[in-house]
Copies of this chain bind each other. A is one copy, B any other.
Amino acid sequence: MAKEITPRSENYSEWYLNIVHKARMADNSAVRGCMVIKPHGFAIWEKMRDTLDAMFKETGHVNAYFPLFIPKSFLSREAAHVEGFAKECAVVTHYRLMNDPNGNGVIVDPEAKLEEELIVRPTSETIIWNSYRDWIQSYRDLPLLINQWANVVRWEMRTRPFLRTTEFLWQEGHTAHANAAEAMAETRLILDLYAKFAEEYMAMPVIKGIKTANERFAGADETFCIEALMQDGKALQAGTSHFLGQNFAKAFDVQFLNKENQQEYVWATSWGVSTRLIGGLIMTHSDDDGLVLPPKLAPIQVVIVPIPKPSDELSVVADKIAKSLRAKGIRVKIDNDDQNRPGFKFAEYEMIGVPVRLGIGARDLANNQIEVARRDTKEKLSVSLDGIDDYVAQLLEDIQQNLFNRAKAFRDENIRKVDSWDEFVETLETKAGFVSAHWDGTTETELEIKERTKATIRCIPVDGEMEDGKCVLTGKPSTRRVLFALAY
């Protein structure tokens, strides 16, 4: 089965699609650009969602749910927002079908035309701020810290499972604050939370940064992001946190009575991560044999395979090991299938990314040993059955750490400081990765560079140092380096 995967070195895009389909993560659907998230892919999303949800709640956020549909006119209220979002979206124009008088199934009933078209939400700032007008009267109603788990639709021309789909799942936080400082603190809190999640759970190192004006969210005063590097040297924007200033409060007339008894517009943030993270997870760790998952997000962390096949004797041992592992909170599967051979099963579990495989056979057991195989390095070891639970628990931690270290080493090796235009172009063409270079701060230069090289400014790193230099294209003065890359 593993043999059917196109190697990364041969065709990276095809390798990615192979992993998505053969690891049973997602399937194409009958609707253009929409995927079906299959049980194995969805189980990973559930782990991500539950982890993030707990982190949001620990920091004082609550969940709510707002309508799927947005009246068309709402999009026009915020000038920048409409430019960014009112273009490629699904438009509901009718609310009824009728039998085709010619007998060919059903047709849209022309009588059932909506007075105002509804947009399937591409993001929910407008519909939510329209509600906040009723919810916020005084400073005592603030802060309002609300998150929503939802599906959204953006009519993308080129789609790829998880990375860019017409419909996707995400969370969108929408908070309201009494002043700019609190809203900015919230924006940064979430940025840090996203970075922590990416690094500690996904084992995916990220760079926290600020987007340029050109790459900013439509309607934001400032957009922060986490950027990751995929194995092919392309960058992936993995999450964004926006400081929205008073833009949406003004667009939807949301004012509050402040402590000084004056009416003031409310300050806002919004922030989101989506099923795109699953694409990032795949492209950070997986290999030519299939999916590689960090243990913290793996639906099955350990699989126990009786060798050569299940028997009463082996079952007793398997159950005992499983019980001791489950007592430690480890997610275990025992493979009791008696149709397929061990080699087939091994390839299958490598394909779907189970971090640890335990092979138990009569010969090993006679020596009080079992075979432990780790997915990340593909090493196999004979390990004593005594204390196997502690051994496996530690191994899962080691794998989690190893995946992060490996990805971080790769990422760090692929950030290259460049100070001339020729070097800039050559680096992008021959090595990809992040290029750290000076930029004169203008959108004009940014677009010119994109035009010539396809590279975009991924971010201005928030932890970057101030350093005098000259713009790599124009030679104009610059005070800090920014990160360029080709990106998903």
Identical copies of this chain, number: 2
Measured in the bound complex, the distance between the Cα atoms of B122 and A95 in whole Å is 12
Residues of chain A in range 72-106 having any CB-CB distance to chain B below 8 Å: 72-76, 82, 86-98, 105-106
Q: Does chain B have a CB within 8 A of A298?
A: no
| Given A71-B31, A97-B86, A131-B36: A63 and B92 interface contact (C-beta under 8 Å) | no
Contacts of A56 in B (CB 8 A): none
Measured in the bound complex, the distance between the Cα atoms of B120 and A153 in whole Å is 12
Count, chain A residues at interface, CB 8 A: 64
Q: Does chain B have a CB within 8 A of A262?
A: no
Question: Are B151 and A68 in contact (CB-based, < 8 A)?
Answer: yes
Chain B's closest residue to A275 (CB) is B65
Question: Are B64 and A38 in contact (CB-based, < 8 A)?
Answer: yes
Q: Does chain B have a CB within 8 A of A118?
A: yes
- Contact partner of A108 (CB less than 8 A), chosen from B46, B91, B135, B150, is B91
Residues of A contacting B: mostly: mixed
Question: Are B37 and A64 in contact (CB-based, < 8 A)?
Answer: yes
Contacts of A68 in B (CB 8 A): 34, 120, 151, 153, 167
Contacts of A442 in B (CB 8 A): none
Minimum-distance CB pairs A-B, first 5: A76-B105, A34-B67, A39-B62, A37-B65, A91-B94
21 A–B contacts, CB within 8 A, in A order: A27-B131, A27-B134, A29-B127, A30-B130, A34-B69, A36-B67, A36-B131, A39-B62, A39-B63, A42-B64, A67-B167, A68-B120, A75-B97, A87-B98, A89-B95, A89-B97, A91-B93, A92-B92, A97-B119, A108-B117, A150-B151
